[in-house]
Amino acid sequence: MITASLRLTGTLDDGAEVYRSYYLVADFGSHGSGKASIIPMSIGAPMPDDDHLEVKYGGEEQALKVAAEVIKALPGNQGLEVKAVINPE
């Protein structure tokens, strides 16, 4: 199993400072296909239509990378500074 914390910070178009946090989990092995789960940790954080993302190859690490890219591209998250921490304590 691999986990990551994804933190987004910045200023919205209306001038408001924003902080959003997501927790990502993948638990299917270091190779092959599987799903990553996206768990929002901030109230009102934008979410994709599905909170699970599937990859066909690349293992858990690839699943977390895909999930992070999807989160960064969501309306409301675009342009925010992103910090990822793999296996946060």
Mean pLDDT, contiguous 10-residue spans, the chain (89 residues) = 93 90 90 91 94 90 90 92 86
Look-up of token digits 């992070």: 68
Neighbouring C-beta atoms of residue 54, cutoff 10 Å: 12
- pTM equals 0.87
